[in-house]
Amino acid sequence: MSAPASLTELWVYLAASPLTALTMTLIAYQCGMWISARAGFSPLANPVLLAVLLLVGLLLVTGTDYRTYFEGAQFVHFLLGPATVALALPLYRQIERVRRSALAITVSLLTGGAVAAATAVAIGAFFGAGPDILASLAPKSVTAAVAMGIADKLGGLPSLTAVLVMITGVIGATLGPLLLTLLGVRDPASRGLAIGTAAHGIGTARALQMSDLEGAFAGLAMGLNALATALLLPLVWGWIF
């Protein structure tokens, strides 16, 4: 291989290697964490949001397309699967708590999951969004992998849903804890359940930072809401539309 003649050629060469996108993703995350720490872990400086903005900026500035980026980033993306499986750990640690509150969890979770989907569609429709946008909005509180499958079933755009899920997670992780404190909800179990139901994995990641208990309930809520929404939403959607 001949040496790259210019900076542009060097970038073209580097951008084609999965190593670059993988490394950039990790660096962007470190930057996000660093900024977040400098901001005193303010919920407004969400490290995921910061990292995504940095990477989007980098892609736009260098003219790299998303598919090229994802070639490398997929190694990180893949780990979402095993990480989801690993949520069994915090869940097991809180098994007694969960068992004692089984009924309360079921009622709160089903109500919250239904409210999340119904309000998203209602508000979207109020502002005049088309049917494909509404179908992409409906599953936005569910973890990305499931939400994309549901959106596809409802006639939405799965890749748009992935983005809406992401934004939902950031909103929930950022403003959720604040809102719950304002409402006087201070017990970690209720806080975790609320954030996990409405803001899936990104909310769970935030809840795990607060306490093991909050994280366990968030992880539980994320899993159960994914299950409930995947089973019920396509049925309800069929009746209404």
**Footprint (CB under 8 A) of other proteins, residues 15-34:** 25-26, 28-29
Stretch near other proteins under the rule CB under 8 A, chosen from 2-10, 12-20, 37-45, 122-130: 122-130
Of 139, 75, 166, 219, which Cα lies nearest the Cα of 148? 139
**Minimum gap (Å) between residue 241 Cβ and other proteins:** 17
Restricted to residues 180-239, the positions that interact with other proteins (CB under 8 A) are 180, 183-191, 193-195, 197-199, 201-202, 204-206, 208, 210-215, 221, 223, 226-227, 230-231, 234
Alpha carbon distance 35, 21 (integer Å): 21
Beta carbon nearer to other proteins, 4 or 38:
38
Residues in contact with other proteins, counted by CB under 8 A, come to a total of 120
- Write the single-letter amino acid at 128: G
Choose between 4 and 118: whose C-beta lies nearer to other proteins: 118
Q: How far is CA 162 from CA 13, 42, 59, 129, 212, in A?
A: 29, 25, 18, 18, 27
Q: Which of 13, 74, 155, 241 binds other proteins (CB under 8 A)?
A: 74
Q: In the complex, what is the shortest distance from the CB of residue 6 to other proteins, in angstroms, rounded to a whole number? A: 25
Q: Concatenated DSSP letters for 97-136?
A: HHHHTHHHHHHHHHHHHHHHHHHHHHHHHHTT--HHHHHH
- Name the residue nearer to other proteins (CB basis): 4 or 104: 104
Q: How far is the CB of 232 from other proteins (least distance, A)?
A: 10
Q: Is there binding between residue 151 and other proteins (CB under 8 A)?
A: no
In angstroms, the CA 23 to CA 26 distance is 5
For the record, the structure tokens of 115 come out as 């409210």
Contact 91, 219 (CB under 8 A): yes
Q: Report, in Å, the least distance between residue 193 CB and other proteins.
A: 5
Helix (H) or strand (E) segment spanning residue 67: helix 66-78
Candidate ranges 9-17, 37-45, 75-83; the one touching other proteins (CB under 8 A): 75-83
